Structure 1
Amino acid sequence: MPMTWGYAPSEQHGETAVRAVHAALDAGATLLDTADAYGPFTNELLLGRVLKERRRDAFVAAKCGLLVGDRHLVANGRPAYVRRACDASLRRLQTEVIDLYQLHRPDPEVPVEETWGAMAELVTAGKVRALGVCALDRPAAARGGGRTAVPELLARLQQVFPVSSVQTELSVWAQRARTELLPWCEAHGVGLLAAMPLGRGFLTGTLTCGGGFETGDLRADDPRFTAEMMAVNQPVVAGLRRVAARHPGATPAQAALAWLLALSPVVIPLPGTKKERWARENCAADGLRLTPADLHELTTLPPARSSWD
């Protein structure tokens, strides 16, 4: 997502992003996560340029169910839309099949079984190989359900078609999914795709506490990224720095990713970047082996504070 939408728009350049994707694949990454809502459409178009040359090197995870409105995102889970969206994504990605097709956000106006059933038909048609779901921590995740209904919602989906993955925010400063969702994923053999594993850049330790994000940057509206809250949350970065310092050459970002990789075999971090350097650094986290003391320290870091607290 950061390559074309959401973070530091003035730094988003197509050729730079294409090189970053190639660098990630060269460094051993295989999963490329995208969505039609990113841009909208520009992220898929960019990845399509890479996939045209390197489809065999990548596992493609795309999404449907979320449209970009004038000032906000709008869920759309209508079956007809799902079918059209899949065909359009296939064209933009320049591929004949999507490895993992994810429901970006359940539509509170459409029974989730109808949306999921339409997605299952795409598997039968050979356009998609597996299905996943995102944003289950949203209060309006499904008609008649909220945050407390996540296990029930997943059970409803499983009755229609197997859930292969669940994507949600998970990092050292946002650990709710570790206790509320990870046990379910492990019990059912479902992958947990950790979105925002670097806390929208905060956990890299490279952001200043001044705030002031440019127009179009999602962090400008994130209550964790006011100047005051960025200062309050510095102990999280300090903890990552301490752990990284015990491993020569390691960075705070690598420590954050290594913690996720050590949580469970079903956890897959999804770090986003726009630059080759960061892509290679992120992939190198796979070789960082944290000690039990490191893992305990990161697990017990304070959760992110926000101006909404």
Structure 2
Amino acid sequence: MERRTIGAAALEVGAVGLGCMPMSWAYTGSQQRGEESLRAVNAALDRGSTLLDTADMYGPFTNELLVGRVLKERRSEAFVSTKVGLLVGDQHLVANGRPNYVRRACDASLRRLQTDVIDLYQLHRTDPEVPVEETWGAMAELVSAGKVRSLGLCAVGARSGRRAGARLHDGTIRLLERVQQVFPVSTVQAELSVWSAEALDALLPWCAARGVGFLAAMPLGNGFLTGTLTPGEGFEPDDLRARHPRFTAEMMAANQPIVVGLRRVARRHGDGVRPVTPAQVALAWVLAQGPHVVPVPGTKRERWAAENAGAAGLRLTAEDLAEVAGLPGALGSWD
């Protein structure tokens, strides 16, 4: 697989990463099987998808434990990315950016991941009660201590401001400029996909101009862009899509032209032996947005992990990119 260099630390990763969140968080709990998830992680590594993206809050904690089982055997093949700063409360998620907590959380993540160093440590959410410079400074100390190799920031909360249009990521950019004064930002993780492309307006160019890697979260639109979801099929109550305005039967049906367009492009590249899928076209579109961009599609299935990794070898033509750019905009609120 093609390798891409990300961030100030100039670390190399496979062009397509693996988002581990669905293995133990946010998606259908009844379909979360540890052994299947382990096979998915191994399938990704086998195909060069070295970046494994997890977080301490996924589960909580069980996601890191699962990834750690693979790392115990294959640490040298993986690029380990985890997150800090977000806790699972009784009724909602709670930010915690206190320096002492960050230090303890890092040590706990190292134990769960069965490694002595985290390649990328990301701030999952800023704490309104703690100046971000203090949180970031504590994370920088972890780099100095040899526990972490590089730091990243998640652009959390952007969806709540989606109606602001071009100003969507202004707050994230201001935050990035503040923490850059403390310690270099290696990566920003934010949503980017065919049906949620707002990061192209300002955030992606900001990263490109400063050599900051961009980890594209939800590059498959929470599964919609795979073309495997049927409008009206419904989701289990613990699946985040069960409460999502874009995943009502009406909105899923209304947005089918996007998938139809992706399938049309896929047919031009497939053959009878190895057909190209809409998901691979969607990921190839993300990859085409710049050499500093690494999509991190999430899955808990071995089959999809292998398929997603295969997107790294798909090269869209100028005609393909123009066709995808001309697809209808996604309908339905994303807030």
Displacement of 1:307 after TM fit?
4.3
Other-structure match for 2:269: 247
Other-structure match for 1:273: 299
* Aligned mates of 2:329, 2:64 — CA distance in 1: 33
* Aligned mates of 1:244, 1:70 — CA distance in 2: 44
Give the % identical residues: 71
* Aligned mates of 1:308, 1:57 — CA distance in 2: 36
Q: Is the 8 A contact 1:260 1:267 kept in 2?
A: yes
What's the TM-score once normalised by structure 2's chain length?
A: 0.88
Counting only pairs closer than 5 Å after superposition, residues 119-268 of structure 1 correspond to structure 2 as 119-138=139-158, 147-248=169-270, 249-268=275-294
Confirm whether residue 17 of structure 1 aligns to residue 37 of structure 2: yes
Other-structure match for 2:58: 38
* Aligned mates of 1:149, 1:129 — CA distance in 2: 26
**Per-residue CA shift, 1:2-58, capped at 9, x if unaligned?**
111111211100001001100110011110000011111111000000000000000
Q: Is the 8 A contact 1:37 1:68 kept in 2?
A: yes
Displacement of 1:305 after TM fit?
2.1
Displacement of 1:65 after TM fit?
0.6
Q: Which runs of 5+ in 1 are unaligned?
A: none
**Per-residue CA shift, 1:170-195, capped at 9, x if unaligned?**
00000000122110010000000000
Confirm whether residue 59 of structure 1 aligns to residue 85 of structure 2: no
RMSD: 1.8
Q: Is the 8 A contact 2:169 2:203 kept in 1?
A: no
Q: Is the 8 A contact 1:175 1:303 kept in 2?
A: no
The letter for the 2-side match of 1:304 is: A
Confirm whether residue 284 of structure 1 aligns to residue 310 of structure 2: yes
**Per-residue CA shift, 1:188-233, capped at 9, x if unaligned?**
0000000001111000000011152112111112221111111121
Q: Is the 8 A contact 2:151 2:186 kept in 1?
A: yes
Displacement of 1:297 after TM fit?
1.5
Alignment CA distance shift 1:109-1:211 (3 Å): farther
* Aligned mates of 1:151, 1:11 — CA distance in 2: 37
| Of 189-198 and 216-225, the range deviating more from structure 2 | 216-225
* Aligned mates of 2:160, 2:255 — CA distance in 1: 28
Q: Is the 8 A contact 1:18 1:50 kept in 2?
A: yes
Displacement of 1:147 after TM fit?
4.6
Q: Which runs of 5+ in 2 are unaligned?
A: 1-20, 162-167
Alignment CA distance shift 1:185-1:66 (3 Å): same
What's the TM-score once normalised by structure 1's chain length?
A: 0.95
**Per-residue CA shift, 1:117-142, capped at 9, x if unaligned?**
1111111111100000002553899x
